[in-house]
């Protein structure tokens, strides 16, 4: 599967056992977001959403980092006396579409955070549905250190994961959070040794890929909606989702497998 008409240069993909692994591949810049990486990642995510053979996504980084955020080297020529950056347009064009694509995708997305996740790289990890971290991973809401505010969804996801006060501290101090603290705070689901991260992510993704795909998609949608729905709205959403799930072949298979005391063979239908 390719992300564009030509093979992407900043993204690597591999598909095995219904698990699509997407690797940010600019290790010399700690996988910083360039214009090209942003375009290719978004195209890859869109392709993945349409690919029925890809039931679960894993996003990770090549080399020592997950992603160090915006490639500031690209901005060197712009930041001259009299320059007025229009960062809102940049977010609309480059970052927000990526975050929306992850959240709207009806497939689980796992971040396998192998090293530093800073700025937009941290936001990318937070936007994923699940996060596994290497013991060498760290998370940094670095925006304040360059006079900016959290973006690319960080101000949405972080307080929902760890609460307002802790999110306020991390965003207003810009201090790094190591993997152990990230686990304690609830930023990540699990921490593993560096050489076990890929295997742990694959194991989790393969397990999810074997589950009923429509039920997972509906569950993800419900959990996203719960952030803004009232109780009554959520109960209504659950009703419609359950009605849909109940009509799938995988639901029938699950019930029959239980009654026949065997392991279900879900087909994603």
Whether residues 53 and 185 fall in one domain? yes
Contact in structure between 93 and 74 (CB atoms under 8 Å): no
Domain boundary among 167, 194, 209: 209
168 lies in the same domain as 244: no
Q: Are strands 19-24 and 11-16 parallel, antiparallel or unpaired?
A: antiparallel
Residues 150 and 187 in one domain: yes
- In the predicted structure, residue 5 carries a pLDDT above the cut 60: no
Query: Domain check: are 91 and 133 in the same one?
Result: yes
- Looking at residue 17, its pLDDT comes to 93
> What is the spatial distance between Cα 257 and Cα 114, in angstroms, rounded to a whole number?
38
Residue 266 pLDDT > 50: yes
Confidence at residue 259, expressed as pLDDT on a 0 to 100 scale: 94
Q: Are 264 and 257 in contact (CB under 8 A)?
A: yes
Confidence of residue 1 (pLDDT cuts 50, 70, 90): very low
Q: What is the CATH number of the domain that holds 201?
A: 3.90.226.10
Confidence check: pLDDT of 2 > 60: no
Assigned domain for 265 exists: no
Average pLDDT over residues 131-146: 96
2 occurs within a structural domain: no
Shared domain check, 171 and 79: yes
Q: Would you call 57 helix, strand, or coil by DSSP?
A: strand
Mean pLDDT, range 81-106, rounded to an integer: 88
Predicted pLDDT at 233: 95
Confidence of residue 59 (pLDDT cuts 50, 70, 90): very high
Q: Is 97 found in the same domain as 40?
A: yes
Calculate mean pLDDT across residues 156-175: 97
User: Which residues constitute the domain of residue 237?
Assistant: 213-259
Q: In terms of residues, how long is the chain? A: 269
The H or E element containing residue 42 is helix 35-50
157 assigned to some structural domain: yes
The pLDDT, as a whole number, for residue 76 is 66
| Confidence tier at 3 by pLDDT (50, 70, 90) | very low
User: Based on the domain organization, do 110 and 134 belong to the same domain?
Assistant: yes
Share of the chain above pLDDT 70, in %: 95
**What is the structure's pLDDT at 4?**
41
Q: Domain holding 243: CATH number? A: 1.10.12.10
| 190, 225: one domain | no
pLDDT band at 245 (very low <50, low <70, confident <90, very high): very high
In a domain, 1, yes or no: no
Do 121 and 253 lie in one domain? The reply is no
Same-domain pairing of 188 and 245 = no
Contact indicator for 24, 37 with CB cutoff of 8 Å: yes
In a domain, 80, yes or no: yes
Q: Is residue 269 part of a domain?
A: no
> In the structure encoding, which two tokens stand for residue 74, read together?
């690209």
pLDDT value of position 161: 96
The reply to whether 5 falls in a domain is: no
Share of the chain above pLDDT 90, in %: 87
CB within 8 A of 22, min separation 6: which ones? 11, 12, 13, 41, 44, 45, 48, 57, 58, 59, 60
Continuous segment of H or E residues that includes residue 113: strand 109-113
Q: What is the mean pLDDT of the chain?
A: 93
Is 140 inside a domain boundary? yes
Asked whether residue 119 falls in the same domain as residue 245, the answer is no
- Do residues 132 and 58 share a domain? yes
Structural domain count, the chain: 2
At 79 the pLDDT is: 66
Instruction: Output the DSSP codes for 2-42.
Output: -SSSS--SSEEEEEETTEEEEEE--GGGTT-B-HHHHHHHH
pTM of structure: 0.92
């Amino acid at each position: 599967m390719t992300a564009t008409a030509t093979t992407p240069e900043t993204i690597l993909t591999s598909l095995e056992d219904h698990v699509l692994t997407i690797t940010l591949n600019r290790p010399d810049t700690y996988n910083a977001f360039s214009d090209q990486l942003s375009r290719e990642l978004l195209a890859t995510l869109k392709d993945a959403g349409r690919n029925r053979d890809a039931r679960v996504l894993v996003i990770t980084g090549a080399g020592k980092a997950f992603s160090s955020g915006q490639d500031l080297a690209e901005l060197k020529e712009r930041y001259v006396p009299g320059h007025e950056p229009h960062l809102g347009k940049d977010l609309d064009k480059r970052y927000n579409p990526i975050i929306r694509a992850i959240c709207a995708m009806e497939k689980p997305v796992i971040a396998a955070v192998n090293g530093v996740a800073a700025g937009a790289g941290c936001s990318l990890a937070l936007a994923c549905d699940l996060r596994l971290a290497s013991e060498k991973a760290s998370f940094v809401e670095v925006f304040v250190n360059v006079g900016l505010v959290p973006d690319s969804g960080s101000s949405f996801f972080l307080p929902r994961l760890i609460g307002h006060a802790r999110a306020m501290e991390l965003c207003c101090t810009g201090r790094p959070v190591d993997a152990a603290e990230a686990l304690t705070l609830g930023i990540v689901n699990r921490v593993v040794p560096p050489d076990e991260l890929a295997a742990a992510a694959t194991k989790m993704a393969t397990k999810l890929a074997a589950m009923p795909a429509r039920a997972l998609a509906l569950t993800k949608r419900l959990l996203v909606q719960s952030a803004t729905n009232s109780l009554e709205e959520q109960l209504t959403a659950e009703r419609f989702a359950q009605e849909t799930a109940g009509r799938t072949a995988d639901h029938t298979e699950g019930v029959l497998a239980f009654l026949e005391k065997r392991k279900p063979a879900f087909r994603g239908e």
